[in-house]
Amino acid sequence: MPAAHDHGPWGCACWGPQDELGAANLLTPEKRLAALKGIETGQVFDLSHVFGADAPYMAPNQPPFLMMLWATWRDSIRRRRRLGMTNDAGSNVERIEMTAHVGTHIDALGHVSKGDRLYNGFDAAETLGDWGLLRLGVEKIPPLITRGLLFDVAGLDGGAHLGPGRVVTPEELEAAAAKAGFAVEPGDIALIRTGWGCYFAVDNARYLAGAPGIDVPAAEWLTRQGVVAIGADNMALEVLPNPDHSKALPVHQHCLAEAGVHIIENLALEEIAAAGVSRFCLILLPPKMRGATGAPVRPVALI
């Protein structure tokens, strides 16, 4: 039996052998309504970074963000004049080349495998087609409208942020939740502020050289409580490098392949943390790009 079927009360065994939603099954109408009813002021916090050529990327797996003008107002006017049009309507159209994992983005459940197994025990060889994922693509992620929780651990070591390689433990997440006055409930989305986001597009070499973050024990603590997604203000959610140098992306393996919990990376959490907000209605609508392993997103928090 694939390991994915063995994951606790929120594992894929709860939702059947063909399930592709994972923990997003917990997003009931009642959960969405409760989050929306919690909005009192209408204030919005944008939790995303601007997408641009200055966004950090991890070579060689990730290419840089590239954008160029495909058509300009001059070109389009000239072409339309040749067709007999006289009102000189100029249009500018760009072409963008990027990985779906640049900037603020969400990981689809098919992004990372554990061996040859993806979420719900699906065979990776049979799931990956010539033009993308045949299952577990980002288009399968439903609109994420639920309660968001901010775990602010940036100041644990006395500075503005935690250092690279610093592991955030389950006990520290529990303490952050207690300090903020909330308890995690099924269907919530957990966002972790390490402070490392201050280097995004400011000092990319430093941002990419390592990062503070959670390891598997903290990820398991969150997934056991039924979170739908876990996000952070760093490149990979998990601590980099992992303390066990023989492991790569074990948190991704646990969250995506075992627990069916989405990962949100490169979040902008400084503004909401400065406002002292720890509970909010989170709205994140992934674009429906068939077969993609992830997608750029613009999550917002409403209070």
H/E element holding 145?
strand 144-152
Q: What is the pTM of this model?
A: 0.94
- Please tell me the class of the 3-58+100-302 domain: alpha beta
Mean pLDDT of the region 78-97: 96
| pLDDT tens digit sequence for 215-232 | 999 999 999 999 999 999
| Neighbouring residues of 138: CB distance < 8 A, sequence distance ≥ 6 | 100, 106, 108, 286, 287, 288, 289, 292, 293, 294, 295
| pLDDT tens digit sequence for 234-258 | 999 999 999 999 999 999 999 999 9
Residues recorded for the chain = 303
14 pLDDT band, cuts 50/70/90, is confident
| Neighbouring residues of 196: CB distance < 8 A, sequence distance ≥ 6 | 161, 162, 164, 207, 211, 212, 213, 233, 234
Tell me the domain boundaries of the chain: 3-58+100-302, 66-97
Q: Is the pLDDT of residue 5 over 70?
A: no
Predicted confidence at residue 12, as pLDDT, reads 54
Mean pLDDT of the region 188-201: 98
Cis peptide bond upstream of 60, omega within 30 = yes
Mean pLDDT of the region 135-142: 98
Predicted confidence at residue 8, as pLDDT, reads 46
